[in-house]
Chain A
Amino acid sequence: QTVVTQEPSFSVSPGGTVTLTCGLSSGSVSTTHYPSWYQQTPGQGPRTLIYNTNTPSSGVPDRFSGSILENKAALTITGAQAEDESDYYCMLSMGVGIWMFGGGTKLTVL
């Protein structure tokens, strides 16, 4: 069965730039998977960041951006801030009425 893959962890310095990726164990991610990204801080519910590959959700700071890079969906944070330290999940549409989340990336800002 196909699995959605994400880096388990990543680290970035304050003010730095980091790109998290979202791939498939079999095949490539494309815009037809309508990648979306969600941020979850400890003890909180998820917050939608990006949908439809690169559309920011309402109120999301413009330092967050989405794209397709080398057959994977990507979330880039440009100018990371301390409050960006969170878990990040991607989600892909795998067909009619079927969605799959990646395992999540724990981002540390230090």
Chain B
Amino acid sequence: QVQLVESGGGVVQPGESLTLSCGASGFTFSSYGLHWVRQAPGKGLEWVAFILHDGSNNFYADSVKGRFTISRDNSKNTLYLRMNSLRPEDTAVYCCVKDNSHYAMDVWGQGTAVTVSS
């Protein structure tokens, strides 16, 4: 079945960096755009970043622009999120999500937790 599995979360100090990965299976990875969405403890969903199916373009929320980089390796069916200059407000569960090609999301990973704290 269609599956997305995130990894790479952990506890880091403010200003440090972290890279998240998301492995995909069950669908033609190179045919779909992918998102990162995060949810801070007790808060709502926040869209973070999106990358086109072929990696030719990517987009970011203002809150992470210039600090986070989304990328993908279609030969490995893997999505990445490189997070630099982390702040306490970046503390959240980060989920990778498949785009359904209709301006929406249809398959969600379970997420990986990132904690930024000194």
Cβ of A52: which chain B residues have Cβ within 8 Å of it? Answer: 102-104
Residue B86 is within 8 A (CB to CB) of chain A in the complex: no
Residue A16 is within 8 A (CB to CB) of chain B in the complex: no
| Contact-residue size bin, chain A (C-beta under 8 Å from the other chain) | 20 to 34
Residue A80 is within 8 A (CB to CB) of chain B in the complex: no
Partner-binding segment picked from B7-15, B16-24, B43-51, B74-82? B43-51
**Which residue from B44, B57, B59, B108 sits with its C-beta under 8 Å from A98?**
B59
Q: Mark B58-69, 1 if CB is under 8 A from A, else 0.
A: 110110000000
CB distance from A85 to the nearest CB of B (A): 17
A87-B42 Cα distance, complex, nearest whole Å: 12
Q: B33 — nearest CB in chain A belongs to which residue?
A: A97
Q: Mark A50-77, 1 if CB is under 8 A from B, else 0.
A: 0110010100000000000000000000
Verify A34–B35 contact, CB threshold 8 A.
no
List 15 additional A-B contacts (Cβ < 8 Å) besides A102-B44, A104-B44: A36-B105, A38-B45, A38-B105, A45-B108, A48-B105, A48-B108, A51-B102, A52-B104, A97-B57, A98-B61, A99-B47, A101-B37, A101-B44, A101-B45, A101-B46
